[in-house]
Each structure stands twice: as structure tokens, then as C-alpha cells.
Amino acid sequence: MAIERTLSIIKPDGVKRNLIGQILSRFEAAGLTIVAGRLQQLSRAEAEGFYAVHKARPFFKDLVDFMISGPVFISVLEGEGAIAKNRDLMGATNPKEAAAGTIRADFAESIDANTVHGSDAPETAAVEVAYFFRSIEICG
């Protein structure tokens, strides 16, 4: 399997509950390396741009409101099959459907406050990483 990079975001509910360390530990224990990362308070425009693919969905405004409700921790994870591996660690979008032992099953409160974002495919990973990080900010 190829070495990939994927974008991870610990959403405001995770940052507020001091879960950054626990979540990053899960990534590292699974063999993913954090090659870039920072805390950031997103502006409305930045959150809308990031989630532009969901613009027409009924939950778009709630999603953006939630993503700007506090700081997020944005990182780039690198490793073998990093995109799928991160999605496996995250669990299903709706925490009620997330498999036991996943981040969302263990920590998420609702489908809105579901603690983490992760890129879902190589194309979106490339776009999402570049949305938040310049190449010189990634230490891979």
C-alpha cells in the first residue's frame, strides 16, 4: 500500500473537552505520523470554503456554525493507507452507527458534534491538505 497524506480536524467539541492528546495518540498508535498541525479558530468564510461540497445540503448552516463555535486542531497525517486508516479510526459519521472502539463511538455526542473530520479519498485529501497547509509547513 502506498504512503499517503490525509487531513484530520479535531472539531470544536473535541478541543473543548481536552481530547486532542487522546485522539492524536490513537493516530500515532495506529502507525500514522503527524507531519503538520495547528490550532485555529476558523472564520465563517474559511469553514464555508472547506465544506463547499456540502453547500446545498440542509445541514450546511448548522455544520458551519458548529465548526466556528471554537478552535479546531487541524493536522496532516502520513502513513501507509493513511486515508482509509484514519476513516477506520474515526468510525461512521453518525456516532450511533460508529463501530465500538472508534473515535466517534467513544467520544462523539451527535452527528453534528462528531469530534473529527477526515478526508475520504486521495483527491479530496490533496485538496483539503492544500486548503490549510503550504508544502513548506509539512514536515514529512
Q: Considering the candidates 11, 87, 104, 117, report the single residue annotated as catalytic.
A: 117
Q: Report whether 132 contacts 117 (CB < 8 A).
A: no
Q: Which is nearer to ligand IDP, 36 or 64 (CB)?
A: 64
Stretch that binds ligand IDP, among 14-22, 23-31, 110-118, 131-139 (CB under 6 A): 110-118
For 28-94, the DSSP string reads HHTT-EEEEEEEE---HHHHHHHTGGGTTSTTHHHHHHHHTSS-EEEEEEEEETHHHHHHHHH--SS
Q: For 136, how many CA atoms within 13 A lie in the half-sphere containing its CB?
A: 0
117 a catalytic residue: yes
Residue in 111, 126, 127, 138 binding ligand IDP, rule: CB under 6 A: 111
30 binds, among ligand IDP, Mg ion, none (CB under 5 to 8 A by kind): none
Name the residues that contact ligand IDP, by CB under 6 A: 54, 59, 63, 93, 111-112, 114, 117, 120
Q: Which residues are catalytic?
A: 117
